[in-house]
Amino acid sequence: MEKLNRDFLSHDGPTDVISFGLARASKSSPVIGDIYICPLVAERNARRLGITAKEELTRLVIHGMLHILGHDHPEGDERTRSTMWKRQERILDTFH
């Protein structure tokens, strides 16, 4: 995960999730992409947040999926107040 983060995003260190949206063959073709999740970082996040690893892994899958669908968020403190983050949390709530 560190290598993916460095090579594709120019960031140092591991991260929890990286997603890559792939080009659609046409407007009517499905949206496809790859989502990479680092279980060790996800587990560390879960402990820090006081949630289960399952909940954090689900959040990361949703987060990656939203990026593949074209959504984005700012970095830093604004991230968790962004439209994308709020959508992510609404989707996550449907699993509870």
Domains detected in the chain: 2-93 (3.40.390.30)
Q: What is the pTM of this model?
A: 0.88
pLDDT tens for residues 33-85? 999 999 999 999 999 999 999 999 999 999 999 999 999 998 888 988 999 99
Return d(Cα 7, Cα 1) in angstroms, integer: 10
- Nearest to 61, CA basis, from 5, 14, 16, 24: 16
Collapsing DSSP to helix, strand or coil, 92 comes out as helix
pLDDT of residue 39: 95
Residues 6+ apart with CB under 8 A from 56: 16, 42, 43, 45, 46, 49
3-class DSSP state of 47: helix
Q: What is the pLDDT of residue 96?
A: 76
What is the pLDDT at residue 24?
A: 85
